[in-house]
Amino acid sequence: MRIIGGKYKGTALASLGKGDASAHLRPTSDRVRESLFNLLAHGDYPSIEGTRVLDLFAGTGALGFEALSRGAARALFVDDGAKSRALVRQNIDTLRVIGQTKLYRRDATKMGENRGDPYDLVFLDPPYGKGLGEKALMSCMAGGWLADNALVIWEENSAVTPPKGFAMLDQRKYGDTVISVLQRVAG
């Protein structure tokens, strides 16, 4: 895995190695990340430049780090797995972005109250087929984590239906991965 574009383009991210079977890590492939960021860059979406990014079920953090490489101002990585957090920490060190990042050990479906500014761009990559994506979004809404009109990139193994408070902007299938682009709507 590597950063696909931006100022850290080509930088290798931490390897899963033999991985941790209990962690169920399934990083977004370079090909899918490249397609996703091309869609964001060339579609009718707000620029990533200067955004605050929330990477839920962060895994290795590849999506959040790609956004930082492309100009995002800050990224918060949320994962409750020890292996995932170790990989995110390693990637923070590799890219030297400690001042732009935070890492929370937290269940993304139980975010609690946000005590800071809300986030503009959310990457949501829950374990496939367990209904955790919608729970995480509802928790983020309840806790004030999402800015008005926040963009949500939701990765699943099948098409999703946007929960109340979100509109579907686009949905694309890449192999066994379905990327849904949602936007928070007033409501």
Q: pTM of this prediction?
A: 0.91
pLDDT tens digits, residue range 5-57? 999 999 999 876 544 444 455 566 777 888 889 888 888 888 899 999 999 99
Cα angle vertex 75, ends 1, 150, to 5°?
110
In the predicted structure, residue 141 carries a pLDDT above the cut 70: yes
Q: Hey, what domains does the chain have and what are their CATH numbers? A: 26-184 (3.40.50.150)
In contact, 169 and 182? CB cutoff 8 Å: yes
User: In the chain, pLDDT over 70 holds for what percent of residues?
Assistant: 92
The residue to which tokens 């509802």 are assigned: 138
> Can you list the alpha helix ranges (DSSP code H) found in 52-175?
62-69, 82-95, 132-143
For residues 152-170, give the mean pLDDT. 93
Nearest to 13 by CA among 103, 92, 70: 92
